[in-house]
Amino acid sequence: MQLRDQDSEVFRILEAERRRQREGVELIPSENYVSEAVLEAMGTIFTNKYSEGYPGRRYYGGNEHVDEIERLAQTRAKQLFSVPHANVQPYSGSPANLAVYLATCQPGDIIMGQNLPDGGHLTHGWKVSATGTYYRSVPYHVKADGYIDVDEVWRLAREHRPRLIWCGATAYVREFPFEKFAEIAEEISAFFVADIAHIAGLVIAGAHKSPVPYAHVVTTTTHKTLRGPRGAMILVTQRGLDKDDELAERIDRAIFPGLQGGPHDHTTAAIAVALGEAMQPAFKEYGHRVVANSKALAGGLMKRGFKLVTNGTDNHMMLMDLTPGGPGRGVFMQEALDRVGITVNKNTIPGEPSSPFYPSGVRLGTPAATTRGMREQEMERIASWIALVAEEVEASKLPDDSKARSPAIKSFRQAIEQNRRLASLRNEVREFCLKFPVPGTT
């Protein structure tokens, strides 16, 4: 029985999401579209299987085909990233990062990662995360120009002697200085872990330097620029094995039985498919196109007077600094752009004058738009729409009184729903987007 007939309510919601994806521009840099082959693998009968353990060492019977698909995913990951060991079982990026802590640190150990409001990730030691609760986090920051303050990293590392140092971020728009982190970690005998969740696809394509020659461990999600399902991998490099010849085994034990039970075998199958796609010559072209589009969109925005953190980008994303119009304006731009079918996310900026709940920036990127076949000329048009939306909401300000903020945003949402100019732009965006197919939505 088809879903349409068995559960019409769920089918209706899925169809609404299908339309949303087809009729809008997805600019959230951590989102992308998977191929129909990846979608097909995700929906296979591997969903039915339970397979605690690793290939050849399962706690359940009937895993001969699961072993084969997991070994295939491991082999492809090792080949793509030129590493001796790959664990493809993490459910997502955060559990993968937690496993690295479990494998390399003891509770109370000192760790270092990029400060969250400066573009870092929650699991790199931010105070509300378990990683900032069970470990002593010493965050480093970016400079006033938005670049990582490498001098500060050196100073903090020598002063605090962390057990583990992270390099990686969710909102950093420049190329990571992996070689500098390797030098720092080497001097103080720390583990150096590169979290490339955002840039993994760019690394494979050669559009961003690889951390593999420098880091002991590399973690990554399998979606974002890699265009796979929502999973993760942990890669142990030769440099990591040279530092600790049991590192791969301890990583594996940290995932299972340390943090997880049975892997999601249908996701493993889809990861294998995505990695196979990343081996094709077209993927290299895709990765470079993502960066070219990102630079084009950044240029289009700056040409229209927008302020960008670091005045540009080296990768797939950019960060708009909206403080010239007042603090906390990210939420207004996100809501207004969503109204016309341009999806972004509000985000903190370095030196954030407001709060993570009402941040002053907007994060946007080009992986998903590039997957649909959009190029520089389309980025120019998108930049023009963003500028028009900004003009429509220019007068909107975040109230100083925190109690007045929620009502103000509610009123703002009602106003943009009734805004005729935004309604007209929505129709333009819809007509534009329908010219660019989304894999798996036809």
Rounded CA separation 356/366 (Å): 23
Residue 142: beta bridge partners? Answer: 148
Is 310 catalytic? The answer is no
Residue pair 90/255 in contact (Cβ under 8 Å)? The answer is: yes
Listed in sequence order, the residues at least 6 apart from 202 whose beta carbon sits closer than 8 Å to its beta carbon are 208, 225, 287, 290, 291, 315, 316
What are the CB-based long-range contacts (under 8 Å, 24+) for 238-247? Answer: 238/83, 238/84, 239/182, 239/213, 239/214, 239/215, 240/191, 240/215, 240/216, 241/84, 241/85, 243/191, 243/216, 244/216, 247/103, 247/104, 247/216, 247/217
Distance of CA 322 to the CA centre of its chain: 22
Reply yes or no on whether 134 is catalytic.
Answer: no
Catalytic pick from 31, 40, 52, 380? 52
The three-class DSSP label of residue 64 is: helix
For residue 52, indicate whether it is catalytic: yes
How far apart CA 127 and CA 194 sit, in angstroms, is 20
DSSP letters spanning 240-299:
HHHH-TTHHHHHHHIIIIII-SS--HHHHHHHHHHHHHHTSHHHHHHHHHHHHHHHHHHH
Q: Is 176 exposed, middle or buried (0-12, 13-18, 19+ CB in 10 A)?
A: buried
Is 174 a known active-site residue?
Answer: no
- 332 to 29, 50, 362: CA distances (angstroms): 19, 45, 10
Q: Give kind and range of the element (H or E) at residue 321.
A: strand 317-321
User: CA-to-CA distance for 163 and 137, rounded, in angstroms?
Assistant: 11
- Catalytic residue, chosen from 18, 22, 50, 183, is 50
Query: 53 phi and psi, to 5 degrees?
Result: 110, -160
Choosing from 221, 267, 323, 371, the catalytic residue is: 221
Active-site residue, from 174, 224, 227, 339: 224
Tokens representing 4? 């349409």
Q: Is 230 a catalytic residue?
A: yes
In angstroms, the CA 108 to CA 111 distance is 9
Residue tagged active-site, from 230, 304, 307, 430? 230
Rounded to an integer, what is the distance from CA 339 to the centroid of its chain? 23
- 23, 26, 118, 195: the catalytic one is 195
392 is catalytic: no
3-state class (DSSP) for residue 214: coil
**Catalytically annotated residues:** 50, 52, 195, 221, 224, 230
